[in-house]
């Protein structure tokens, strides 16, 4: 998907009354995270950054078809450290990102995986906000914490501004995009193609 960002529309809908109405409980403090969340060994020889949107079908396919093997073979074995940076095409992707980042660093990747795996369900729901929150509750978030996150306009603004900054710095034009050893590669890839890129980059840094 090609990047198109209407900041006013994103922020206007991200913390709108429709989301708040779906969460009637009083707000409690959450563990919001804005910056990079690293998965894997901090001392791994290679860093891989993925730019993806929770509403991008190509990103969903990468995360359901390719990512589990990459995680098992490269992240969990200490070969790479992985960073997911969310891209915001629409308010729904921003809502999903806010929920994924609402529970702190430990909760982020399990929530991100669940949102990607269930993308076909929640993006087609009549009430997408409620569908996203259902995934959050299933992964340990309280309704109060999600309300706190979704009503926090400052949190939304920080996420959008950081996305704009990092995407511009890395020259990101579409999703999914991957920064591997400083080089940008775009498009959904199968395991064999993606692992070949990782192996070549690892050979260069060894």
CATH code matching the domain that covers 7-200, chosen among 3.30.1490.20, 3.40.30.10, 3.40.50.150, 3.30.1360.120? 3.40.30.10
**pLDDT of res. 128:** 94
Mean pLDDT over 44-64 rounds to 97
**pLDDT of res. 7:** 56
**pLDDT of res. 31:** 82
Residue 4 has pLDDT above 90, yes or no: no
Lowest mean pLDDT among 4-18, 67-81, 130-144, 170-184: 4-18
Reported confidence tier of residue 206, pLDDT bands at 50, 70, 90: confident
Reported confidence tier of residue 25, pLDDT bands at 50, 70, 90: very low
**pLDDT of res. 24:** 38
**Whole-prediction pTM value?**
0.87
**pLDDT of res. 17:** 35
Mean residue pLDDT across the chain: 89
Cα dihedral across residues 58, 5, 127, 107: positive or negative:
positive
Sequence spans of domains, the chain: 7-200
**pLDDT of res. 67:** 98
Read off the pLDDT of residues 69-112 as tens digits, 9 standing for 90 and up.
999 999 999 999 999 999 999 999 999 999 999 999 999 999 99
Read off the pLDDT of residues 116-171 as tens digits, 9 standing for 90 and up.
999 999 999 999 999 999 999 999 999 999 999 999 999 999 999 999 999 999 99
Helices marked H in the chain: 7-14, 17-21, 57-61, 67-70, 91-100, 105-117, 119-122, 128-138, 143-150, 153-170, 191-205
Please give the Cα distance from 79 to 83 (Å, whole number): 14
**pLDDT of res. 123:** 97
Mean pLDDT over 13-26 rounds to 41
The distance of Cα 151 from the centroid of its chain, to the nearest Å, equals 19
**pLDDT of res. 146:** 94
Percent of the chain exceeding pLDDT 90 equals: 83
Please give the Cα distance from 50 to 116 (Å, whole number): 14
Reported confidence tier of residue 16, pLDDT bands at 50, 70, 90: very low
């Amino acid at each position: 998907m090609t990047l198109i960002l209407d900041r006013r529309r994103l922020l206007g809908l991200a913390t709108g009354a429709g989301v708040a109405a779906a969460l009637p409980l009083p707000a409690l403090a959450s563990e919001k995270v804005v910056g990079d969340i690293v998965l894997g060994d901090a001392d791994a020889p290679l860093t891989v950054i993925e730019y993806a949107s929770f509403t991008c079908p190509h990103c969903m396919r990468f995360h359901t078809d390719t990512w589990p093997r990459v995680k098992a073979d490269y992240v969990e074995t200490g070969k790479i450290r992985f960073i997911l940076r969310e891209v915001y095409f629409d308010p729904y992707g921003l809502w999903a990102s806010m929920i994924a980042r609402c529970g702190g660093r430990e909760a982020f990747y399990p929530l991100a995986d669940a949102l990607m795996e269930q993308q076909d369900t929640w993006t087609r729901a009549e009430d997408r906000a409620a569908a996203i929150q259902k995934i959050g509750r299933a992964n340990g978030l309280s309704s109060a914490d999600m309300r706190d996150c979704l009503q926090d306009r400052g949190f939304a603004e920080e996420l959008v501004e950081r996305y704009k900054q990092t995407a511009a710095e890395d020259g990101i034009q579409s999703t999914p995009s991957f920064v591997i050893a400083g080089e940008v590669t775009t498009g959904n890839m199968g395991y064999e193609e993606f692992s070949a890129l990782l192996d070549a980059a690892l050979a260069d840094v060894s």
